[in-house]
Amino acid sequence: MTERDTPPERAVIGKRVRSGEAETAEVRDLAQAAGYRVLESVTQTRTEDPAYHFGEGKVEEIAATVAATDATAVIVDNELGPYQTYNVGNKLPEGVRVIDRFRLILEIFGQRAQTRKAQLQVELAELRYELPRAEAKASLAKRDERPGFMGLGEYDESRERDIKARISRIRDELEQIERDDQHRREQRRESGFDLVALAGYTNAGKSTLLRQLAADLDVDENEDIHPDLDSTAESEDRLFTTLGTTTRKGDIDRRDVLVTDTVGFISDLPHWLVESFKSTLDAVYRADLVLLVVDVSEPMDEIHEKVVTCHDTLYERNEAPIVTVLNKCDTVDDDEITRKKEGLSALAPNPVVISAKTGDGIDRLWERVHDELPDYKHERLVMPMTEDTMSVVSWIHDNAYVQTVEYGDHADEVTVEFEARPQVVEQSRSKAQQLVETSPSA
């Protein structure tokens, strides 16, 4: 039997909330994204039990459900401490794994990681997850002088040091990747590109929107500048189809725009996990404009919570303007959209309503993008006609919006009038000055 034919693991969901009713829809989606088949859910409303997380009686109910369904894993939609993981596992049939929310998310990330950067970020997150567990083993072993105490595994005093050393090496490599990415972004800007990033929660429709915004896949630039141009931006209805970044050239008049899709946010992520993916999120933090994509079909309180979380995450480092995009307008009526726009007015006073699936509103979105991006500068250059002049004119055509090109009466000079990003205007002036300095009449 091949790996593809291997049946999915069977899981029972467990979730505890302090108050109210426990909602399991999201964790079910996460479990399915990781390849599990969810059989049953067991929930509890109570304060956390320090030993079991759940009440001990509820753990016994989970164990009974596992036995009745022949499940192979218990997925707990909360963060479990190392001792709680052991205690819950001790109540379950032999061989049944206990997986908390963040271990589950790391499994998904590990399955999706394709690039070196994504793989390093996943490994960094896994090590940060494991470090406190290794520290707990070390602490207990030293205190009780019993390796393997509480079932936490045999104590190896070198393991904690190894984890910290590996974390340090990964950080160094990721910092170099970040420097390379930043250099690439600056090259793109110097080549006349505006950088637009898509942000938002998983399944909000970012990848579908990227496909709508894309003019084509061909950008006539060095592959070192555009290694993330991808012909297969996925838009499947599953979580975390985008773990790294995918960039497309945007279909907008007068401007050269690169649109980048990034990893989706998810609820209740701890700071250490978000920090592990800082390298990917830099594509958002360092963009010229961020489009925050929101699923308008979701309940209002859920939309509000997600927008608040996204703004908190983005405004911590991001300096570019943020435009909220209410996606999936084809799934709700106009009255509901109006109510939700009013409910978000304090956070997103002027959102753009679209359907990435049908294309409705895409023209309005492009108009907003054009209005929000940095203003182009107007320039008029008069250059002497030399053997290099036409290559400069061609370069301006490639990197700016050219309005007119006029040649002198005796074809001894050329005048180019255009609009472009400030960096491109400066480069154009420099190239024109070089022509003047090398002209035979200089």
Looking at every residue in the chain, the average pLDDT score rounds to: 82
261 is in an annotated binding site: yes
432 is in an annotated binding site: no
Residue 157 lies in a domain: yes
Going by pLDDT thresholds of 50, 70 and 90, the confidence category of residue 441 is low
pLDDT at 346 over 70: yes
310 is in an annotated binding site: no
CA distances 180 to 183, 184, 257, 279, Å, are 5, 6, 20, 11
262 is in an annotated binding site: yes
Distance CA 389, CA 407 (A): 12
Residue 4 lies in a domain: no
Same domain, 124 and 233: no
pLDDT: which is higher, 55 or 256: 55
Q: In the chain, what percentage of residues exceed pLDDT 70?
A: 81
Same domain, 27 and 101: yes
pLDDT at 220 over 50: no
389 is in an annotated binding site: no
pLDDT at 260 over 80: yes
25 is in an annotated binding site: no
Which pLDDT does position 282 carry in this prediction? 75
Q: Report the range out of 9-13, 133-137, 242-246, 283-287 with the highest average pLDDT.
A: 9-13
306 is in an annotated binding site: no
Which pLDDT does position 438 carry in this prediction? 82
Same domain, 381 and 254: no
Q: Which two tokens stand for residue 394?
A: 């061609």
Residue 55 lies in a domain: yes
Residue 90 lies in a domain: yes
Same domain, 14 and 30: yes
Residue 3 lies in a domain: no
pLDDT at 278 over 80: no
Residue 174 lies in a domain: yes
Q: Which residues contact 361 (CB under 8 A, 6 or more apart)?
A: 329, 352, 353, 354, 355
Residue 150 lies in a domain: yes
242 is in an annotated binding site: yes
pLDDT: which is higher, 98 or 287: 98
Q: Indicate the DSSP class of residue 7.
A: P
Going by pLDDT thresholds of 50, 70 and 90, the confidence category of residue 189 is confident
Same domain, 222 and 267: yes
Which pLDDT does position 416 carry in this prediction? 94
Which pLDDT does position 353 carry in this prediction? 97
Residue at which a domain ends, from 80, 109, 138: 109
Report the CATH number that the domain containing residue 392 is assigned in CATH.
3.30.1370
207 is in an annotated binding site: yes
Same domain, 290 and 422: no
Same domain, 356 and 433: no
Tens digit of each residue's pLDDT (9 = 90 or more) over 27-49: 998 899 889 999 999 999 999 99
Which pLDDT does position 157 carry in this prediction? 65
Report the CATH number that the domain containing residue 327 is assigned in CATH.
3.40.50.300
Residue at which a domain ends, from 338, 372, 406: 372
Which pLDDT does position 81 carry in this prediction? 87
Same domain, 356 and 411: no
pLDDT: which is higher, 386 or 156: 386
Distance CA 23, CA 7 (A): 27
89 is in an annotated binding site: no
Q: Please give the residue range of the domain that contains residue 24.
A: 10-109
Number of domains in the chain: 4
Which pLDDT does position 436 carry in this prediction? 87
Which pLDDT does position 51 carry in this prediction? 94
Tens digit of each residue's pLDDT (9 = 90 or more) over 109-139: 888 777 788 788 888 888 888 888 777 766 6
pLDDT at 147 over 50: no
Same domain, 355 and 249: yes
Same domain, 151 and 224: no
Which pLDDT does position 41 carry in this prediction? 95
From the list 247, 329, 322, the residue with the least C-alpha distance to 280 is 247
pLDDT at 18 over 70: yes
Same domain, 345 and 199: yes
Task: Give residue 392's identity as a one-letter amino acid code.
Answer: V
309 is in an annotated binding site: no
CB neighbourhood size of 275 (10 A): 15
Which pLDDT does position 233 carry in this prediction? 41
CB 307 within 8 A of CB 324: yes
Predicted TM-score of the model (pTM): 0.69
Residue at which a domain ends, from 152, 178, 204: 178
Distance CA 76, CA 395 (A): 57
Residue 163 lies in a domain: yes
197 is in an annotated binding site: no
Distance CA 86, CA 53 (A): 11
pLDDT at 159 over 60: yes
329 is in an annotated binding site: yes
Q: Which two tokens stand for residue 401?
A: 């919006």
Cα 420 to the chain's mean position, in Å? 29
202 is in an annotated binding site: yes
328 is in an annotated binding site: yes
200 is in an annotated binding site: yes
Which pLDDT does position 1 carry in this prediction? 43
Cα 287 to the chain's mean position, in Å? 13
Which pLDDT does position 410 carry in this prediction? 66
pLDDT at 151 over 60: no
376 is in an annotated binding site: no
CB 136 within 8 A of CB 152: yes
Distance CA 199, CA 310 (A): 8
pLDDT at 219 over 50: no
Going by pLDDT thresholds of 50, 70 and 90, the confidence category of residue 311 is confident
pLDDT at 333 over 60: yes
Which pLDDT does position 68 carry in this prediction? 96
Report the CATH number that the domain containing residue 91 is assigned in CATH.
3.40.50.11060
pLDDT at 393 over 70: yes
Same domain, 151 and 166: yes
164 is in an annotated binding site: no
Strand ranges of the sheet holding 401-407, from the earlier edge strand across to the other edge: 377-384, 413-420, 401-407
